[in-house]
A and B are shown apart, each in its own frame.
Chain A
Amino acid sequence: MSEIKLKLKKETEIPLEAESITPDNFAGKSINEIKKLVVYYGREELTIGDFFNVTGKSEEKDDLIISINGNLSNVKRIGENMSGGEIIINGDVGMHVGNQMSGGKIQVNGNADDWAGAMLKGGELEITGDAGNYVGSAYRGFWKGMTNGVIKVKGKIGVEAMLWASGSVPAKRLPTLICGSAGSFLGIHNHGGTIIVEGDVDRCAGADQIKGIIVIKGKAPKILPSFKKIGEVKEIELFNGEKITGKFIEYAGDHSVKKNHSTVSKKTGELNKSVNGRLYIAA
Chain B
Amino acid sequence: MAVKKIKTIYDVLCPFCGTLCDDLEVDIADNKVVEVRNACQIGTKKFYSSNPNEHRYETPMIKKNGKLERASWEEAIDKAADILANAKRPLLYGFSSTECEAQSKGVELAEILGGVLDNTASVCHGPSLLAKQDVGQPGATLGEFKNRADLVIFWGSNPVHAHPRHLSRYSEFVRGYFRKDGRNDRYIVVVDPRNTHTAQIADLYIQVNPSEDYELLNAIRAVLRGVELDEKEVSGVSMEKIKELVNTMKTCSYGVIFFGMGLTQSLSHHRNIDAAICLTRELNDHTKFSIIPMRGHYNVAGANQVFTWNTGYAYSIDFSRGYARYNPGEFSSVEVLLKDQVDASLIVASDPASNFPAASVKNLFKHPLIVIDPHESPTTVYADIVLPAAIAGIEAEGTAYRMDNVPLRLRKVKDAPGECLTDKIILEKLIEKVKEKRGE
Q: Which residues of A contact B (CB under 8 A)?
A: 13-15, 17, 40-44, 74, 95, 114-115, 133-134, 139-141, 143, 160, 184-185, 188-189, 204, 207-208, 222, 224-226, 228-229, 254-258, 264, 269, 271
Chain A contact residues, majority secondary structure? loop
Q: Are A40 and B218 in contact (CB under 8 A)?
A: no
Chain B contacts with A in 235-252, Cβ cutoff 8 A: none
Question: Could you tell me the distance in whole angstroms from the C-beta of A132 to the nearest C-beta in chain B?
Answer: 9
- Contact status B329-A134, CB under 8 Å: yes
The 6 A-B residue pairs whose C-beta atoms are closest, nearest first, are A43-B114, A42-B88, A256-B221, A226-B222, A141-B133, A42-B89
Residues 277-321 of B at the A interface (beta carbon under 8 Å): 278, 281-282, 285, 319-321
CB distance from B322 to the nearest CB of A (A): 8
Contact indicator B225/A256 (Cβ below 8 Å): yes
Cα–Cα distance between A228 and B230 once the two chains are bound (Å): 7
Q: Does B130 contact A (CB under 8 A)?
A: yes
The smallest beta-carbon distance between A188 and chain B, in angstroms, is: 7
Q: Which residues of A contact B218 (CB under 8 A)?
A: 207, 224-226, 254, 256
A255 touches B225 (CB 8 A): yes
**Interface class of chain B by DSSP:** loop
**Are B329 and A141 in touch, CB under 8 angstroms?**
no
Once the chains bind, are A225 and B342 in contact (CB under 8 Å)?
Answer: no
Question: In the complex, are the beta carbons of B225 and A114 less than 8 A apart?
Answer: no
Cα distance A184–B271 in the bound complex, in angstroms: 11
User: Which of the four size classes fits the interface of chain B?
Assistant: 35 or more
Chain A residues near B330 (CB-CB < 8 A): 95, 114-115
Q: Are A207 and B214 touching (Cβ within 8 A)?
A: yes
Give the residues in chain A near B113, CB-CB below 8 Å.
43
Residues on B with beta carbons closer than 8 Å to the beta carbon of A264: 225-227
B residues adjacent to A (C-beta < 8 A): 88-89, 113-115, 130, 133-134, 214-215, 218-219, 221-222, 225-231, 234, 267-268, 271, 274-275, 278, 281-282, 285, 319-322, 326-330, 340-343
Q: B342 — which chain A residues lie within 8 A by C-beta? A: 14
Using A160-B271, A207-B271, A208-B278 as known contacts, list a sample of 19 further A-B pairs with CB atoms less than 8 Å apart, ordered by residue number in A.
A14-B342, A40-B320, A40-B321, A42-B88, A42-B89, A44-B88, A140-B328, A141-B134, A143-B134, A184-B267, A207-B214, A222-B215, A225-B215, A225-B218, A228-B230, A229-B230, A256-B225, A258-B221, A269-B226
How far does the Cβ of B337 sit from chain A's closest Cβ, in whole Å?
12
Give the residue of A74, A139, A225 whose beta carbon is less than 8 angstroms from that of B234.
A225
Contacts of B222 in A (CB 8 A): 225-226, 255-256
Q: Is the CB of B219 within 8 A of A140?
A: no
Distance in Å: Cβ of B83 to nearest Cβ of chain A: 15
CB-CB nearest in chain A for B322:
A43
Known: A140-B133, A184-B268, A207-B214. A225 touches B341 (CB 8 A): no
Nearest Cβ on chain A to B229's Cβ, whole angstroms: 5
A225 and B327 contacting across the interface, CB-CB below 8 Å: no
B-side contacts of A224, CB under 8 Å: 215, 218
How many angstroms from the CA of A178 to the CA of B320 in the assembled complex? 35
Tell me which residues across on chain B come within 8 A of A114, comparing CB atoms: 329-330
The answer for the CA separation of A74 and B320 in the assembled complex, in Å, is 16
In the bound complex, residues from chain B placing their C-beta under 8 Å from that of A133 are 329
Residue of B nearest to A271 (CB): B227
* Complex CA–CA separation, A254 to B329 (angstroms): 27
A14 and B88 contact, CB distance less than 8 A: yes
What's the least CB distance linking A221 to chain B, in Å? Answer: 11
Q: Which chain B residues border A256 with CB–CB below 8 Å? A: 218-219, 221-222, 225, 227, 275, 278
B271–A42 contact, CB under 8 A? Answer: no
CB-CB < 8 A to B219: which residues of A?
225-226, 256
Taking a contact as CB atoms under 8 Å apart, the answer to whether A41 and B88 are in contact is: yes
Q: Which A residues are in CB contact (< 8 Å) with B227?
A: 226, 228, 255-256, 264, 271
CB pair B329–A42 under 8 Å, yes or no, is: no
Which residue from chain B places its CB closest to the CB of A163 in the assembled complex? B134
Residues B327 and A139 in contact, CB atoms below 8 Å apart:
yes
Inter-chain contacts of B343 with A (CB < 8 A): 13-14, 42
Q: Which residues of the other chain, B, contact A134 by a CB distance below 8 angstroms?
A: 329
Residues of B within 8 A of A115 (CB): 330
Instruction: List the A residue with the shortest CB-CB distance to B87.
Output: A42
Q: Which interface residue of B133, B134, B342 has the most chain A CB atoms within 10 A?
A: B134
Given known A204-B271, A264-B225, contact A43–B134 (CB-CB < 8 A): no
User: Cβ of A43 and Cβ of B230 under 8 Å apart?
Assistant: no
Residue of A nearest to B217 (CB): A256
A-B CB contact pairs (8 Å), 5 listed: A14-B88, A207-B271, A208-B275, A225-B219, A271-B228
- Cβ of A160: which chain B residues have Cβ within 8 Å of it? 271
Chain B residue nearest in CB terms to A269 = B226
* A143, B134: Cα distance in complex, Å: 7
Q: Are B225 and A140 in contact (CB under 8 A)?
A: no
Chain B residues, CB < 8 A from A140: 130, 133, 326-328
For B231, list chain A residues within 8 Å (CB). 225
Question: Is B89 touching A185 in the complex (CB atoms < 8 A)?
Answer: no
Q: How far is the CA of A115 from the CA of B330 in the complex (A)?
A: 10
- Residues from chain B with a CB closer than 8 A to the CB of A95 are 330
Query: How long is the Cα–Cα vector from A43 to B88 in the complex, in angstroms?
Result: 6
Q: Is the CB of A204 within 8 A of B229?
A: no
The residue of chain B having its C-beta at the shortest distance from the C-beta of A15 within the complex is B341
> B282 contacts which chain A residues (CB < 8 A)?
258
- One of B215, B221, B225, B320 near A42 (C-beta < 8 A): B320
* A245 CB to nearest chain B CB (Å): 27
**CB–CB A204/B268 < 8 A:** yes
Which residue of A has the minimal Cβ distance to B219?
A225
Residues of chain B within 8 A (CB-CB) of A139 are 327
Q: Within the complex, what minimum Cβ distance (angstroms) separates A180 from chain B?
A: 22
